[in-house]
Amino acid sequence: MKELIKLENITKNFGNLRVLDDFSLTVHENEFITLLGPSGCGKTTILRILGGFETADVGRVFFEGKDITDLPANKRNLNTVFQKYALFPHMDVKANIAFGLKINGKSQKYIDDKVDYALKLVNLNGFEKRSIDKLSGGQQQRIAMARAIVNEPKVLLLDEPLGALDLKLRQEMQYELIRLKKELGITFIYVTHDQEEALTMSDKVIVINDGYIQQMGTPEEIYNEPENAFVADFIGDSNIIDGLMIKDRLVRINGAEFPCIDEGFGNNKPVDVVIRPEDVLVKDRGYGRINGTVLTRVFIGVHYEMLIKSGENDFEWLVQCYEKYDIGDEVSLDVIPSNIQIMHKPTSSDEEAIDIDI
């Protein structure tokens, strides 16, 4: 795949606050990339630097090999779908969609056709004359998409576009977005703090925190093999436990030794161990590796979620299972080797920073 966008060593400060620190990123053509991170992590800033609304203090931005760092927003061949859509309230639907086309001096015929096409694409044909405040949130969302894509950008930047919608609509729109992406065949750069959205839609997810990339990879990689405690914690629920790597393929957690599949951490080295709650097996007393007591139990639909206290330092495991145990029940826990994820301890108090070129 051809290289489309390249951010090189971007640093950005707001006042005394460093939002991005020597940040680099490469995006290829026709990718659906999601920048995922908690609010304030710098993901929106990256998008705004790409869109031309902010300028980096240090570093360059390349688009198709050309340096566009100093190009103003209105000269860039990429369009943004804004967080709250930013539809122009004093214009009707058609005027909104046609806005960019008019500025580019397209003919009326072209504009009409294009608006027509775009409305069909987002399943809102016939809405031309509607005024913006008569639209529902989902409809506004679609119009915002339509307004961006009629300009045929090479890249569409989406800044938490589904954030203002309710859960059901959000799920619907996720499929819609994937469909649009396929039909248009352009690059999507998607910013969200919602891990579910990221995992559902993306080809690649980049987890960002404190202005650094924490991990990047396919949704599966990110979920199954978090590279540090932050990613593990941010993506889904996790049990993150201090462990001791006794030797290759054997780790000591919570006073018991567990076989695992990781190698190369050295002997008797402290590590972080991540185990997903659904990967913890709950068995009757005596049938597992460590013993524990059920502290709380909540039924959350398909399964039960429990806190189980166990081991030498009373670690509280978050556990999901289909069977019902009562509070106070004495149980045993086990984990199969491939579900144990071993990570290096961070070297400093800061979260470990990993710069990766995609």
Give the binding site for another protein (CB under 8 A): 15, 51-53, 72-75, 79-80, 82-84, 86-90, 99-100, 103-104, 147-148, 151
Residue type, 241: I
CA dihedral defined by 174, 158, 125, 154, rounded to 10 degrees? -110
Nearer to another protein, 51 or 211 (CB): 51
Whole-number Å distance between alpha carbons of 163 and 141: 10
Q: How far is the CB of 81 from another protein (least distance, A)?
A: 9
What are the Cα distances from residue 9, in Å, to 24, 31, 43, 49, 139?
5, 21, 15, 13, 38
The least CB distance from residue 150 to another protein, in Å, is 9
Report the residue number, 101 or 275, with the smaller CB distance to another protein: 101
Cβ closer to another protein: 6 or 48?
A: 48
Nearest Cα residue to 271 out of 248, 289, 304, 296? 248
Closest CA to 304 of 316, 287, 318: 318
Helix (H) or strand (E) holding 318: strand 315-321
CA distances from 103 to 35, 86, 96, 107 (A): 30, 18, 12, 11
Residue type, 78: L
Tell me whether residue 79 or residue 254 sits nearer to another protein (CB atom): 79
Identify the CA nearest to 95 among candidates 78, 82, 108: 108
Q: Is the CB of 15 or the CB of 65 nearer to another protein?
A: 15
Burial of 143 (0-12, 13-18, 19+ CB in 10 A): buried
Smallest gap, in angstroms, from Cβ of residue 91 to another protein? 9
- Phi, psi (rounded to 5 degrees) for 173: -65, -30
Give the shortest CB-245-to-another protein separation in angstroms.
49
Q: How far is the CB of 31 from another protein (least distance, A)?
A: 20
Minimal distance, residue 314 CB to another protein, in Å? 45
CB of 90 to another protein, least distance (A): 5
Q: Which is nearer to another protein, 14 or 175 (CB)?
A: 14
| Spatial separation of the C-alpha atoms in residues 168 and 135, rounded to whole Å | 17
Residue 115 or residue 321: which is nearer to another protein going by CB?
Answer: 115
